């Protein structure tokens, strides 16, 4: 047992991988991807990452911006396209996040996220420094607050899934009404602070933050990863500063043990472990796209379903031409509760019922075709859900392209007139709305979707080969799921260009 006896799930301990239970295949090595050790190659970067004030200096400008956005939401124009809150958060930030940060920099957003930081400062009673001493749960840093353990039954991302679906149901309000955004985002800060006083470390980020769920899921694809260079060194090193903290830094706020970490999902990239490890064993790898392929539970599989289905749903409600659906979703203005109820029911039903059932049917069929009675259906259900990870990510990027191209002009105009009060700070206040090269959007979306399908196929193929020793059986077991993935790709194409 590692010191600090962490919760089973978030601690990426060598729990039996599903592959081990399914027909024969040796356990995977800790890294099955070729990576470039960035900190080894650029020692300067290690210095920067070890510099304690780094995160503080990255976060506080973000906190200021965020405060300004919250203010704009309250006192700026109620018209979304004239308010910096809507334009910068839901167009600019969203695009940056999904198209650049997540695929290339993993959870770098969490490095600079202003939502949980007040809670974290409060727990530490420091902005930058470390209060070393006896802490809760064998930590070697003192922590303010009750420091309770998060309930075991909730140590998964189900709450994030549900919270995200609830927000998604109100998305037509959230992304168009500045005041709604202020209350939701402000509410998240309040919640994060409250939780930080009751529960240990970043319980909010791990288990509640609705953004966290998809950041974690899609960061599996990312080309950047924090890992140790030599896991055997970790095994023999008993002090485990990365887990428990020391004078130079805190134990992982995300309950992760970097020595055994094989996935990006729950690494918030705070780089505390880079600071604490006395051997400089922790580093940042540059690696091929989609290197993490192991989904570990139904909660994660459902996250993948939810994200893909929502990309489709929003393609209908927000980007589609149908007024009735928009009226249903636009509850505060139209007040059609029956329609809204139907809409919410459809969102929940599709994400939690219809789509998972189809996925189950496909994996079941695949298992039948492969004719391998020893293969457990649950394993293939969860593991093959990875098909929807790259496809979902690319679907979201494709979805966001028109959002950015069509509404990008608002970024310029709100830059000069953030509150919609008629200011002209940078002489861009009067930039007229005009879509940027709208005829080309489809020609960008199509290759993106094709790329998503390709990555889905190729990464799930590797998963299939892990589950089935016989390649022919692997192919058969995957065939229905692949057909399903291609169908979804085509469905997205129909919405985007058809």
Partner 1 sequence: MALEVVADVARPRARTRWRTAAILAAAVGLGAGAGILLFNTSGPPKDRDITIYAKQYSFEPPIIRANRGDRLHLKLVSLDVVHGFYLEGYDVDAEILPQQKNALVRHPSQGDQRVEQEEITVVATQTGKFRYRCSHTCGALHPFMSGELIVAPNHSLHGGIGASLGLLVGFALVVRRREPTAAA
Pick one of partner 1, ligand SF4, none as the site partner of residue 405 (Cβ within 5 to 8 A by kind). none
Edge-first strand order for the sheet with 282-286 is 36-37, 282-286, 224-228
**C-alpha distances out from residue 24 to 17, 20, 108, 140, 468, Å:** 12, 7, 37, 42, 7
CA distance 122 to 55: 15
- Site residues (CB under 6 A) for ligand SF4, limited to 212-251: 212, 215
Selection from 23, 8, 105 nearest residue 383 by Cα? 23
Q: How many CB atoms lie within 10 A of CB 196?
A: 29
Question: Among 14, 53, 151, 435, which residue interacts with partner 1 (rule: CB under 8 A)?
Answer: 435
Contact range with ligand SF4 by CB under 6 A, out of 210-218, 280-288, 442-450, 454-462: 210-218
Q: How far is the CB of 92 from partner 1 (least distance, A)?
A: 14
Question: Among 11, 211, 406, 409, which residue interacts with ligand SF4 (rule: CB under 6 A)?
Answer: 211
What are 169's two structure tokens? 């149901």
Site for partner 1 contains 333 (CB under 8 A): yes
Q: How far is the CB of 160 from ligand SF4 (least distance, A)?
A: 9
Question: Among 54, 86, 115, 449, which residue interacts with ligand SF4 (rule: CB under 6 A)?
Answer: 115
Contact range with ligand SF4 by CB under 6 A, out of 150-158, 206-214, 238-246, 292-300: 206-214
**C-alpha distances out from residue 385 to 168, 191, 379, Å:** 21, 31, 10
Residue 422's region, left for phi above 0, alpha for psi from -120 to 50, else beta, is left
CA distance 482 to 456: 8
- Site residues (CB under 6 A) for ligand SF4, limited to 248-277: 268
Pick one of partner 1, ligand SF4, none as the site partner of residue 407 (Cβ within 5 to 8 A by kind). partner 1
Q: How far is the CB of 105 from partner 1 (least distance, A)?
A: 27
Pick one of ligand SF4, partner 1, none as the site partner of residue 268 (Cβ within 5 to 8 A by kind). ligand SF4
Contact range with ligand SF4 by CB under 6 A, out of 21-29, 56-64, 108-116, 120-128: 108-116
Site for ligand SF4 contains 10 (CB under 6 A): no
**Secondary structure letter of residue 93 according to DSSP:** I
CA distance 240 to 17: 24
Q: How many CB atoms lie within 10 A of CB 32?
A: 12
Task: Tell me the DSSP string of 117-129.
Answer: HHHHHHHHT-SS-
Between residues 59 and 375, which has the closer beta carbon with respect to partner 1?
375
Contact range with partner 1 by CB under 8 A, out of 119-127, 233-241, 243-251, 469-477: 469-477
Question: Among 124, 140, 177, 383, which residue interacts with partner 1 (rule: CB under 8 A)?
Answer: 177
Question: Among 19, 113, 226, 307, which residue interacts with ligand SF4 (rule: CB under 6 A)?
Answer: 113
Question: Among 72, 205, 258, 409, which residue interacts with ligand SF4 (rule: CB under 6 A)?
Answer: 205
Sequence-distant (6+) residues with CB within 8 A of 177 are 78, 80, 86, 332
Instruction: Please answer whether residues 322 and 304 qualify as being in contact, where contact means their C-beta atoms are separated by less than 8 angstroms.
Output: no
Tracing tokens 């974690």 back to the chain, one arrives at 216
Site for ligand SF4 contains 110 (CB under 6 A): yes
Q: Which residues bind ligand SF4 (CB under 6 A)?
A: 109-110, 113, 115-116, 205, 209, 211-212, 215, 268
């Amino acid at each position: 047992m590692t010191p600090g006896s962490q919760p089973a799930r978030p601690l990426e301990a060598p729990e039996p991988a599903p592959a081990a239970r399914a027909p024969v295949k040796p356990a995977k090595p800790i890294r099955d991807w070729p990576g470039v050790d960035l900190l080894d190659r650029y020692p300067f970067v290690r210095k920067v990452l070890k510099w304690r004030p780094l995160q503080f200096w990255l976060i506080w400008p973000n906190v200021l911006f965020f405060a300004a956005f919250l203010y704009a939401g309250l006192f700026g124009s109620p018209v979304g396209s004239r308010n910096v809150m809507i334009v910068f958060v839901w167009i600019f930030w969203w695009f940056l996040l999904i198209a650049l940060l997540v695929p290339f920099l993993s959870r770098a957003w969490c490095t600079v996220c202003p939502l949980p930081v007040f809670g974290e400062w409060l727990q530490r009673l420091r902005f930058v420094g470390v209060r070393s001493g006896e802490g809760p749960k064998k930590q070697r840093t003192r922590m303010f607050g009750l420091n309770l353990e998060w309930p075991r039954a909730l140590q998964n991302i189900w709450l994030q899934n549900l919270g995200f679906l609830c927000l998604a149901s109100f998305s037509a309000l959230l992304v168009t009404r500045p005041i709604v955004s202020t209350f939701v985002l402000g509410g998240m800060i309040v919640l994060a602070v409250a939780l930080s006083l009751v529960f240990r470390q970043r319980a909010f980020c791990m288990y509640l933050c609705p953004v966290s769920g998809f950041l974690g899921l899609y960061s599996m694809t990312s080309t950047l990863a924090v890992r140790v260079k030599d896991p055997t060194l970790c095994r023999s090193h008993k002090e485990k500063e990365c887990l428990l903290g020391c004078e130079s830094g805190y134990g992982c706020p995300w309950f992760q043990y970097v020595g055994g970490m094989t996935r990006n999902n729950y690494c918030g990239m705070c780089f505390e472990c880079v600071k604490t490890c006395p051997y400089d064993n922790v580093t940042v790898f540059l690696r091929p796209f989609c290197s993490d392929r192991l989904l570990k539970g139904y909660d994660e599989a459902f996250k993948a379903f939810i994200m893909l289905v929502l990309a489709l749903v929003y393609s209908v409600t927000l980007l589609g031409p149908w007024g009735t659906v928009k009226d249903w979703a636009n509850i505060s203005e139209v007040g059609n509760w029956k329609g809204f109820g139907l809409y919410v029911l459809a969102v929940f039903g599709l994400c939690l019922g219809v789509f998972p059932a189809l996925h189950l049917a496909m994996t079941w069929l695949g298992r039948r075709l492969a004719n391998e009675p020893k293969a457990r259906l649950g394993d293939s259900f969860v593991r093959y859900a990875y098909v929807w990870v790259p496809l979902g990510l690319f679907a979201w990027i494709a979805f966001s392209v028109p959002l950015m191209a069509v509404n990008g002009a608002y970024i310029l105009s709100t830059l000069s007139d953030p509150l919609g009060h008629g200011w002209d700070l940078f002489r861009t206040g009067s930039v007229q709305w005009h879509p940027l090269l709208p005829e080309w959007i489809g020609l960008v979306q199509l290759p993106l979707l094709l790329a998503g399908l390709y990555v889905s196929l190729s990464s799930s193929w590797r998963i299939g080969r892990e589950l089935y020793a016989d390649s022919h059986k692997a192919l058969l077991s995957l065939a229905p799921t692949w057909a399903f993935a291609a169908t979804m790709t085509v469905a997205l194409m129909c919405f985007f260009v058809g």
